[in-house]
Amino acid sequence: MNNYFEYIESNKNKFLEELIEFLKIPSISSDTSYNSDIIKCADWLVEHLQKIGLKNSKIIQTKGHPIVFSEWLEAGSDKPTVLIYGHYDVQPVDPLELWESHPFQPEIRNGKIFARGTADDKGQLFTHIKAIESYLRTNSQLPCNVKLLIEGEEEAGSSHLEEFILENQDLLKCDIALISDTEWFAEGMPTICYGLRGISFFEITMTGPNRDLHSGSFGGAVDNPANALCKLISKLKDEYGRITIPGFYDDVLELTGQERMEFKKLPFNIKHYKQDLGIKEVYGELGYSTLERVWARPSLDINGIISGYTGEGAKTVLPSKATAKISMRLVPNQKASDIAKKTEKYLRTLIPPTVKVEIKFLHGGNPVLVPINSREIKTAVNALQKAFNKDVVFMREGGSIPITEIFQNVLKAPPVLMGFGLPDDNVHSPNESFSLENFYGGIKSSAIFLDEISK
């Protein structure tokens, strides 16, 4: 057994304390009032990377939040270069009252650490940082070349990272992109993710009269933008759960019979799923199972809708404005830019003459499918098996990590999605957590991966 295992075993408490420090910084990327915490978090990371021996670690400014970049290239050109990607930004915390402990005062309960960003993605990212530390401390060098690319805008759509990568392809040149920002199929089932959905996110605002009106004096005579918006949104899907935007399904890659069979082999229990979510029935596109719907079929959902009076009791008012935030999840081989064009074109045909409309596309990202027979995927499977002493399964993911497709198609670096989250980690929800067993096992997996990919 390699001596980095011993280092990991004997430094578990130190690793956890450092992770807690990292988690205490409220690096919420989508809310500008946290901008100074974003900077604090990026600075903390650079200092931490330097402390563990990565001297070439620095902040790179963008038009948005800063990127943290680091490289260790002393393994030489005959060894592979692994680019490790992660994000230090986190989602907002509301509704705050539903948290059992404060989102930025991490607490350990039942073998899990609770705080915003534990699983998504600070805890997962930290597995690699601690693996590098363990390797450097015990071998005084790394087995391969390593670059770290850590962004502060993933939860806000990675808007500036793509541009940075396009302009810095030499700096980022690598053989593999290693990413830990996904989850396992279930507890005790180490998982490699081989597919991510893409996304297209837009906001649509309808404006009617120039002020809120009395709904008695004007109702029935002036179009209500909230009604008009609901009517428009209801036209975006048909009764079979299919999206009605013309050409929307043109590039959708159908599932193969083989893949559908593989999905069916996974221990998915629809009864538990419904119970866990407190829903009476599942919903979705006719002809597809729940896993197929989430992993391999596109979707369209309102993420937020704002209009009129929402306070206590009744107020008879006809609102002057209504806004909806809508995301579409995309699947291979749909392209976010193409879908945005088709969506806008269709929306324009649905606008009634009674309201003014503004449509804003906030961000987009392409879907990803990773071939699973490659050497790097086999290495990841092997690393997980060794670290957790369990068999490894494959799954796709309904969520998005927009930059993954850029690694694949621009840097030509095959992505390895070796995540350590669990389905009940509550990412993006109150009481987000990360299993400590997976944290420590993740550190081992990362160290083994770097070791074995270099052989």
Which of ligand BES, Zn ion, none interacts with 365 (beta carbon under 5 to 8 A by kind)? ligand BES
Q: Least Å distance between CB 301 and Zn ion?
A: 16
Q: Least Å distance between CB 427 and Zn ion?
A: 6
The residue among 90 and 232 lying less far from Zn ion, judged by its C-beta, is: 90
Size of the residue set binding Zn ion (CB under 5 A): 1
Answer for which of 71, 120, 153, 183 binds Zn ion (CB under 5 A) is 120
Cα-Cα-Cα-Cα torsion 241, 91, 16, 191, nearest 10 degrees, comes to: 20
Piece of 21-29, 64-72, 120-128, 376-384 that binds Zn ion (CB under 5 A): 120-128
Interacting residue ranges for ligand BES, rule: CB under 6 A = 120-121, 154-155, 157, 181-183, 199, 363, 365, 397, 399-402, 427
Piece of 7-15, 112-120, 161-169, 309-317 that binds Zn ion (CB under 5 A): 112-120
Residue nearest to ligand BES (CB): 399
The residue among 179 and 450 lying less far from ligand BES, judged by its C-beta, is: 179
Q: Taking CB under 5 A as the rule, does residue 153 contact Zn ion?
A: no
The residue among 125 and 318 lying less far from ligand BES, judged by its C-beta, is: 125
The residue among 191 and 379 lying less far from ligand BES, judged by its C-beta, is: 191
The residue among 116 and 363 lying less far from ligand BES, judged by its C-beta, is: 363
- CA 58 to CA 41: how far, in whole Å? 13
The residue among 184 and 248 lying less far from ligand BES, judged by its C-beta, is: 184
What b-and-e string marks burial along 282-308, b requiring 16 or more CB atoms within 10 Å of the CB? eeebeebbebbbbbbbbbbeeeeeebb
Q: Least Å distance between CB 89 and ligand BES?
A: 9
The residue among 112 and 363 lying less far from ligand BES, judged by its C-beta, is: 363
Which of Zn ion, ligand BES, none interacts with 432 (beta carbon under 5 to 8 A by kind)? none
Residue nearest to Zn ion (CB): 120
The footprint of Zn ion (CB under 5 A) covers 120
